[in-house]
Amino acid sequence: MTDTNAARLATLEARLKQLEDQLAIYQLLATYGPGVDSLSEDAVAGLWTEDGVYDAGGQNPFRGNAAIGDLVNQEPHQTYVGKGCAHVVSMPHVTVDGDTAVATGHSRVYLNQGDHWRVERASANRWELVRTPTGWRVKHRLNRPLDGTAAPRDVLGRGLRR
Amino acid sequence: MTDTNAARLATLEARLKQLEDQLAIYQLLATYGPGVDSLSEDAVAGLWTEDGVYDAGGQNPFRGNAAIGDLVNQEPHQTYVGKGCAHVVSMPHVTVDGDTAVATGHSRVYLNQGDHWRVERASANRWELVRTPTGWRVKHRLNRPLDGTAAPRDVLGRGLRR
Amino acid sequence: MTDTNAARLATLEARLKQLEDQLAIYQLLATYGPGVDSLSEDAVAGLWTEDGVYDAGGQNPFRGNAAIGDLVNQEPHQTYVGKGCAHVVSMPHVTVDGDTAVATGHSRVYLNQGDHWRVERASANRWELVRTPTGWRVKHRLNRPLDGTAAPRDVLGRGLRR
ipTM of the complex: 0.96
Chains touching chain C at 3 or more Cβ pairs under 8 angstroms?
A, B
More confident residue, A5 or B20: B20
pTM of the model: 0.97
Residue B112 to residue C15, Cβ atoms within 8 A: no
Map residue C116 onto helix, strand or coil.
coil
More confident residue, B78 or A5: B78
Confidence of residue B3 (pLDDT cuts 50, 70, 90): low
- Report the helix count and the strand count for chain B, using DSSP H and E: 5, 7
Residue C6, classified by CB atoms within 10 Å of its CB into exposed (0-12), middle (13-18) or buried (19+), is middle
Mean pLDDT of C124-135: 98
Looking at beta carbons, which residues of chain A come within 8 Å of B119?
110, 116-119
Mean pLDDT of B44-71: 95
Specify whether the CB–CB gap between C136 and C24 falls below 8 A: yes
CA-to-CA separations, C41 to B78, C36, C48, in angstroms, rounded: 40, 7, 12
Query: Within A63-147, where are the H helices?
Result: 65-70, 77-83
Q: Which of B117, B119, B120, B121 to mutate to test the interface with C (most CBs of C within 10 A)?
A: B117
Question: What is the predicted pLDDT for the residue at A3?
Answer: 65
